[in-house]
């Protein structure tokens, strides 16, 4: 049977580490665009208690663009796969803002970031198609889902799927939520292979709620009316997103497992988008509850987390975790042949998706 197998991966962690203490001198503003009178250290501590984020990574070189990160992790994944880059049929790049320059913070979406990534990789094959996946934080997952569909439709054999972000250039420095977001990139190469037993991508499921949910995560002017920076700052309704995620993500994860003929106790790893530690813990607990199992039934280490040190790099969070684990760079985390892994994400749109993957 023809299955989509991950044959290589790569990730990039920016060198600049930004601890929470870097925000102590900031005056944050509320949603009514008034300065918050509560002492900033108290705001930061409450933020850390909820999200568990202690530090995040930023790109420190203003000359490096998001497409540069995408090309670098693409190169690493191609090298890891041991293939010729000219063999690729598609270069799919998930992102939210394309290339953003560090000075004027202009959002550039033409040429597409996937075309720029293909160019920077030096791929000459004119039949290799660049494809941008703008799907919120679940974008990398959705890129993998699209790749699986293209491979199983036999219109592609090898596909590079990248998730890359420079979100430090898209946040409002006067919004408390700016402390959530980070920069980073990761990629995988998927190949269609004939296998005797099922392996690779076994199942996937996507849900898109694009009614009133469309306003939960968007962009807007700064909360500080005197701020002269970017006009495309990330704005989010944290409470609505939290409620949406807890309501819809756990049943979706259960569906992708059940429809493939498994149960939660068969799963070895659940790689959830690193958005908010409290939310991720709650979603995992609800998944187990849907199977009639309590918190004590959740195996230690089943859902590794990077958010504490890396923050939320949106589309890059899941492939970064995957690459760190398979390369042996994630403390006490491993993947072996036969392991079942769930990739699950939620983000702007609102969109959610989940993938069930069996390690070959």
CATH architecture, domain 200-358: 3-Layer(aba) Sandwich (3.40)
State how far the alpha carbon of 69 is from the alpha carbons of 35, 127, 218, 246, 327, in Å: 35, 23, 24, 32, 19
The helix (run of H) or strand (run of E) holding residue 126 is none
Over residues 101-156, the pLDDT tens digits come to 887 788 888 899 999 999 999 999 999 999 999 999 999 999 999 999 999 999 99
Say what the pLDDT of residue 285 is: 96
Say what the pLDDT of residue 95 is: 97
Strands 55-58 and 107-108: unpaired
Contact 44, 23 (CB under 8 A): yes
Q: Do domains 2-194 and 200-358 have the same CATH topology?
A: yes
Strands 158-166 and 90-94: parallel
Over residues 265-289, the pLDDT tens digits come to 999 999 999 999 999 999 999 999 9
* pLDDT averages per 10-residue partition of the chain, 360 residues: 97 97 95 93 95 96 96 98 98 94 82 97 98 96 98 97 96 94 98 93 97 93 85 88 96 98 97 94 96 93 95 97 96 93 96 97
d(CA 8, CA 82): 8
Structural Rg of the chain based on CA atoms = 20
Say what the pLDDT of residue 1 is: 92
Q: Does domain 2-194 have CATH number 3.40.1390.10?
A: no
Helix (H, G, I), strand (E, B) or coil at 131: strand
Of the CA atoms within 13 Å of residue 285, those in its CB half-sphere come to 10
Say what the pLDDT of residue 256 is: 98
Burial of 110 (0-12, 13-18, 19+ CB in 10 A): exposed
State how far the alpha carbon of 201 is from the alpha carbons of 4, 12, 47, 296, in Å: 6, 24, 36, 29
Q: Residue 36: how many CB atoms within 10 A of its CB?
A: 15
Domain boundaries, the chain: 2-194, 200-358
Say what the pLDDT of residue 109 is: 83
d(CA 173, CA 222): 8
């Amino acid at each position: 049977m023809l299955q989509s197998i991950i044959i290589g991966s790569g990730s990039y962690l920016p060198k600049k580490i930004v601890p929470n203490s870097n925000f102590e001198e900031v005056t944050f503003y509320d949603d009514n665009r008034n300065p918050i009178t509560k002492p900033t250290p108290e705001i930061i501590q409450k933020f850390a208690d909820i999200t568990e984020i202690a530090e995040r990574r930023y790109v420190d070189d203003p000359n490096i663009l998001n497409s540069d990160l995408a090309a670098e992790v693409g190169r690493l994944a191609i090298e890891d796969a041991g293939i010729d880059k000219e063999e690729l049929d598609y270069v799919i790049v998930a992102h939210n803002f394309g290339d953003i320059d560090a000075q004027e913070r202009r959002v550039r979406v033409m040429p597409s970031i996937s075309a720029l990534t293909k160019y920077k990789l030096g791929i000459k094959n004119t039949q290799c198609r660049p494809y941008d996946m703008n799907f919120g934080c679940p974008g990398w997952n959705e890129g993998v889902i699209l790749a699986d569909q293209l491979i199983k439709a036999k219109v592609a054999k090898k596909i590079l799927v990248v998730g890359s972000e420079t979100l430090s250039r898209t946040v409002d420095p006067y919004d408390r939520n700016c402390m959530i977001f980070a920069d980073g990139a990761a990629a995988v190469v998927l190949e269609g292979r004939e296998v005797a037993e099922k392996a690779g991508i076994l199942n996937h499921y996507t849900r898109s709620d694009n009614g009133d949910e469309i306003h939960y995560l968007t962009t807007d002017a700064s909360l500080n009316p005197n701020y002269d920076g970017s006009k495309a700052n990330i704005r989010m309704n944290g409470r609505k997103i939290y409620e949406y995620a807890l309501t819809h993500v756990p049943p979706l994860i259960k569906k992708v497992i059940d429809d493939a003929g498994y149960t939660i106790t068969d799963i070895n790893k659940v790689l959830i988008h690193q958005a908010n530690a409290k939310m991720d813990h709650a979603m995992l607990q609800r998944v187990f509850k849907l199977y009639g199992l309590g918190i004590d039934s959740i195996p230690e280490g089943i859902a590794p987390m990077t958010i504490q040190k890396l923050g939320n790099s949106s589309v890059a969070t899941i492939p970064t975790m995957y690459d760190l684990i398979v390369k042996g760079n994630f403390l006490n985390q491993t993947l072996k042949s036969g392991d079942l892994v769930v990739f699950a994400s939620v983000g702007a749109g609102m969109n959610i998706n989940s993938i069930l993957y069996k390690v070959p």
